[in-house]
Amino acid sequence: MKRRPLLVGNWKMHTTVLDACHLAADIAKTCLGLEDRDVLLAPPFTVLSQVAHMVAETGVLLAAQNVCWEAQGAFTGEISPLMVLDAGGAAAIVGHSERRQIFHEDNVLINKRVRGALAFGLVPILCVGETLDEREGGQTFKIIEEQIRSGLAGVVAADMVETVLAYEPVWAIGTGKTATKEQAQEVHAFIRNLVAGMYEKDVADQIRILYGGSVKPDNIDALMAQDDIDGALVGGAALNAESFERIIHFHKI
Ligand code: 13P
């Protein structure tokens, strides 16, 4: 099954308005005429609408880095799906390991975010991944299964085909220590099988599963050549237009 590659730049807590506009413009320039892959940027909330102006008509899509499940109300510090849509976003990253680890977001809360995004027509990008201790303790598949099953609780097949999953081993994030292509492929295949069991094979065949964790210009080609790796969720290397450009223009080896 041929799935359309998806390259996501997660800018995390970086960029002022000026930095963001320059970076977005540079990235958008390199995406003109790209027809066989999707590029999505996830800037901080504060610059989302300015970045939307910079990438208008270029085909580059935007995501929020998190999202609440309510349209509005007394939820200090949160952002609603309607606000994300209003600012030009089409998707939302949910369950990033930094949200799980630093801000103690658990699977139940993350599931509310996933369902909230879907209810308002945003594509959730649900992140999962094990810590180094969990990997070394032989817990990787158990942890991933738990995160996927509870993160997707209540999500129907019609929504599932739109949902994006991202495997980001915590030990590979920001450490320069990428999972090998074999390690990544093994977990991606596990996730696709799991989704096939929870839904149907046809659903599992359609969903895009991204790899994240120290993706760089020099490892993207090998990662993208793996059968079950459909794209990348990039942190550090997405903050530099040149390196993200190289990642966007990967060629399988
Ligand atoms: P790095 O690419 O900086 O390792 O970050 C990965 C990540 O967390 C993307 O969401």
Q: Provide the Cα torsion 85, 91, 95, 98; round to 10°.
A: -90
Report, as an integer, the average pLDDT of 34-60: 96
Q: What percent of the chain has pLDDT over 70?
A: 100
Q: What DSSP character marks residue 233?
A: E
Whether residue 54 contacts residue 27, with contact meaning beta carbons closer than 8 Å, is answered with no
CA 40/CA 48 separation, integer angstroms:
12
C-alpha of residue 209 to centroid of ligand 1, in Å:
15
Give the residues surrounding ligand 1 with Cβ less than 6 Å away: 10, 96, 168, 173-174, 212-215, 233-237
CA 178/CA 174 separation, integer angstroms:
9
Closest CA to 88 of 113, 68, 62, 66: 62
Report, as an integer, the average pLDDT of 50-56: 97
Torsional sign, CA 91, 66, 99, 13: positive
Could you read off the pLDDT of 220-245 as tens digits, one per residue? 999 999 999 999 999 999 999 999 99
Whether residue 200 contacts residue 185, with contact meaning beta carbons closer than 8 Å, is answered with no
What pTM does this model have?
Answer: 0.97
C-alpha of residue 52 to centroid of ligand 1, in Å:
22
pLDDT at 137: 95
> Would you say residue 219 has pLDDT above 90?
yes
Using pLDDT thresholds of 50, 70 and 90, give the confidence band for residue 176: confident
Could you read off the pLDDT of 116-167 as tens digits, one per residue? 999 999 999 999 999 999 999 999 999 999 999 999 999 999 999 999 999 9
> Would you say residue 174 has pLDDT above 90?
no
Q: Which atom of ligand 1 is nearest to the CA of 233?
A: 9
C-alpha of residue 81 to centroid of ligand 1, in Å:
23
Residue 10 φ then ψ, to 5°: -100, 110
Report, as an integer, the average pLDDT of 66-89: 98
Which residues are catalytically annotated?
Answer: 96, 168
> Would you say residue 191 has pLDDT above 90?
yes
Average pLDDT of the residues of the chain: 97
C-alpha of residue 78 to centroid of ligand 1, in Å:
22
Taking CA atoms only, the protein residue closest to ligand 1 atom 2 is: 235
Task: Please provide the DSSP assignment of 41-103 as one string.
Answer: EE--GGGHHHHHHHHTTTT-EEEES---SSSSSS-TT---HHHHHHTT--EEEES-HHHHHHS
Second-level CATH architecture of 6-248 = Alpha-Beta Barrel (3.20)
Mutate to test the pocket of ligand 1, among 215, 239, 243 (most ligand atoms within 8 A of CB): 215
